[in-house]
Amino acid sequence: TGGRVPFIAGNWKMNLDHLQAIAFVQKLAWSLKDATHDYSATEVVVFPPFTDLRSVQTLISADKLELGFGAQDVSEHESGAYTGEISAAFLKALETPYVIVGHSERRTLHHETDEQLAAKVAAAVKHGIVPVICVGETAEDLEKHGPSAVPVAQLRAALAQAADAKDIVVAYEPVWAIGSGQAATPEQAEQVAAQLRIVLSEVLGEDVAQATRVLYGGSVKAANIAGFMRQPNVDGALVGGASLDIAEFSGIAQFL
């Protein structure tokens, strides 16, 4: 991981209401505390639904839990007539450190475009929220263009309005691996992560590129995390399904 602090992220998607979230976060924090792993050297971050953020933020800060949190999406607009949207300013007011931008479910089900995602990244960066930028190819892209072309193009596009960004996280999530039980191999993840780091270097400069965590996501489990964490350009994981199981997620966070 090149000296970068490992980043283990749990994307809850549309699961757990705010009461369930409070119980879950407490249990997760206990589970991590009981582990022998040194968490001062790993960031573990949960991404609950919007309605949970206030409760999760209060719990983490009041109990000084060794957990981070973030939102699953953000509006590209600052404020105004955008019914149902949540602005980066609102997330900042809740002291939200991270926000996922461009998850494949947003790209596919909500038709989010590269231009829109670039504006979301810029909005997050403007408010000092670290965007976790998701990129990844579909099975069809993989067949047509090989493994790196689409993720590389998506990352370039996402950074189009954020050339001055210093603090971002990138998640390489091949769409064919998400929720399919069929993870990429550690070598496949490393190959794309290395290409993404080249893009980071070209767009944001070598220092920022070397400091940026690049995650792998797609059917990560406790049983397969170690192989990913051994790759020089893979600095952590974005976990969907397995992040809702405390034993499984704390196993991933120990990446033994």
Binding-site residue ranges for substrate: 11-13, 179, 219, 240-241
Near ligand PEP by CB under 6 A: residue from 87, 212, 219, 224: 219
Annotated binding site: 11-13, 179, 219, 240-241
Active-site residue set: 103, 173
> How far, in Å, CA of 150 to CA of 10, rounded?
24
88 is an interface residue for ligand PEP by CB under 6 A: no
Give, rounded to a whole angstrom, the gap between the first and last alpha carbons of the chain. Answer: 15
- Of the candidates 99, 132, 125, 153, the one whose C-alpha atom is nearest the C-alpha of residue 214 is 132
CB 247 within 8 A of CB 2: no
224 is an interface residue for ligand PEP by CB under 6 A: no
Contacts of ligand PEP in 140-179 (CB under 6 A) = 173, 178-179
11 is an interface residue for ligand PEP by CB under 6 A: yes
Segment interacting with ligand PEP, rule: CB under 6 A, options 46-54, 81-89, 201-209, 234-242: 234-242
CB of 107 to ligand PEP, least distance (A): 12
The residue number whose beta carbon is nearest to ligand PEP equals 240
Q: What angle do CA 203, 208, 211 make, to 5 degrees?
A: 140
Near ligand PEP by CB under 6 A: residue from 68, 174, 186, 217: 217
8 is an interface residue for ligand PEP by CB under 6 A: no
> How far, in Å, CA of 109 to CA of 89, rounded?
25
CB of 49 to ligand PEP, least distance (A): 14
102 is an interface residue for ligand PEP by CB under 6 A: no
Residue 247: how many other CB atoms lie within 10 Å: 11
Q: Which two tokens stand for residue 46?
A: 């949960």
> How far, in Å, CA of 195 to CA of 204, rounded?
14
CB 10 within 8 A of CB 46: yes
Near ligand PEP by CB under 6 A: residue from 155, 239, 252, 253: 239
184 is an interface residue for ligand PEP by CB under 6 A: no
- DSSP string of 13-52? -S---HHHHHHHHHHHHHHHHHSSS-GGG-EEEEE--GGG
Question: Binding residues for ligand PEP, per CB under 6 A?
Answer: 11, 173, 178-179, 217-220, 238-242
